[in-house]
Amino acid sequence: MNVNPKLNVLLAMQVYARVVEAGTFTRAADSLQMPKPTVTKLVQALESHLRMKLLNRTTRKVSVTPDGAAYYERATRLLGDLEDIESSVANAQASPEGRLRVDAGGTIATMFIIPALPAFVDRYPEIQLDFGVSDRMVDLVGENVDCVIRAGSLTEQEQSLVARHIGDLPWVTCATPKYLKRYGTPTHPSDLDSGHVIAAHVSARTGRVLPLVFERDGKRIEIEARHTVAVNESNAHLSAARAGLGIAQMPAFMMKQAALGELKPVLAVWQPGPIPVHVLYPANRHLSAKVRVFVDWIAALFREGGLGRR
């Protein structure tokens, strides 16, 4: 096959793979930090070079042709092998480098992970860490995110990802002393059905208010009490609880971030089991040295913080 001397085949292959994963030229260009016309021209040049159509294009999205799907599978394997070779030659395991895209939930990120990041930066100064903070579901492949840290049970969508269980977060149910003085201290979960309000947390996954869950001696109770304010982000949920907007249920480390005595635990004997925490990354993506060292570091951070798997 004749090779176009003006075409960087490896770059075009990398760009094509990103377009397939992102689903649009615009999202691919954003994640690659390249102009969209450059991305389009590289894919077109690759198609011309291969003499086959790789993508079907519409005004809103692109879809992969059968030939394009086969080429994508082989190209991603080759790109992974090349990264392995580069890592070996450059001893990247000892000194990994490059851009690392990570996403984590609000309070876990701001209260637990980010304060510890100076140690990671000092150890791996050649890694540029782009840290997204959000409770929303992140499309790792489409948004070109290397890994995410998420609390809670894995969704069906997340079952397709590689998941490393790195920790468990104990629950606590709490309220401000002012709230408890006004409404009384509940002694049983059923007390919340009348005469109480909750500081409600809306699931970023489902868009619905999360019920308060209580467990004791094998018995499980879910309470959907009255609320006047509902929020959809974990930092905002903590703020709502601290403002006295109702009884709230949250990971215990969040309550500990409040000023001493600002929030008081209630119904301590009725707490549910701890929330599992996973670090997730795509199963079909080569686990580079920079991702590997971050995953190991975050697992150690949870372990040393008393929240990790032993």
Count of helix runs (H) and strand runs (E) in the chain: 10, 14
In the chain the domains, ranked by start, together with CATH numbers, are 9-90 (1.10.10.10), 98-168+275-304 (3.40.190.10), 171-270 (3.40.190.10)
Which pair of structure tokens corresponds to residue 174? 């709490």
State the virtual CA torsion across 94, 305, 198, 231 in degrees, nearest 10. Answer: -20
Tell me what pLDDT residue 86 has: 64
Is the distance from CB of 238 to CB of 250 less than 8 angstroms? Answer: yes
User: CA dist 234 to 27, 45, 104, 134, 199, Å?
Assistant: 27, 46, 11, 9, 11
d(CA 68, CA 228): 52
d(CA 94, CA 290): 10
104: nearest Cα among 140, 56, 51, 57: 140
Separation of CA 8 from chain center: 33
Q: Beta strands of the chain (E only): which ranges? A: 55-57, 62-64, 98-104, 127-133, 147-151, 161-169, 171-175, 198-201, 212-216, 219-223, 227-231, 248-251, 264-266, 275-282
Tell me what pLDDT residue 183 has: 94
d(CA 267, CA 24): 50
User: CA dist 153 to 54, 150, 176, 277, Å?
Assistant: 37, 9, 29, 8
Is the distance from CB of 271 to CB of 173 less than 8 angstroms? Answer: yes
d(CA 119, CA 122): 5
Which pair of structure tokens corresponds to residue 272? 């549910």
Q: What is the pTM of this model?
A: 0.68
d(CA 89, CA 96): 12
Tell me what pLDDT residue 1 has: 40
36-50 vs 25-32: helix axis angle to the nearest 10? 110
Tell me what pLDDT residue 105 has: 86
Query: How does pLDDT run along the chain (310 residues), one tens digit per residue?
Result: 444 545 788 898 889 888 888 888 888 888 888 899 999 999 999 999 999 999 988 767 788 888 888 888 888 878 877 776 665 555 545 578 888 899 998 888 988 899 999 999 999 999 999 998 887 777 776 777 888 998 887 777 676 778 889 989 999 999 999 999 999 999 999 999 888 999 999 887 778 888 999 999 889 999 888 888 999 888 899 999 999 999 999 998 888 877 778 999 999 999 888 989 999 887 755 567 888 899 999 999 998 876 655 4
Element (H, E) at 180: helix 177-183
**Across the strands, what pairs with 56?**
63
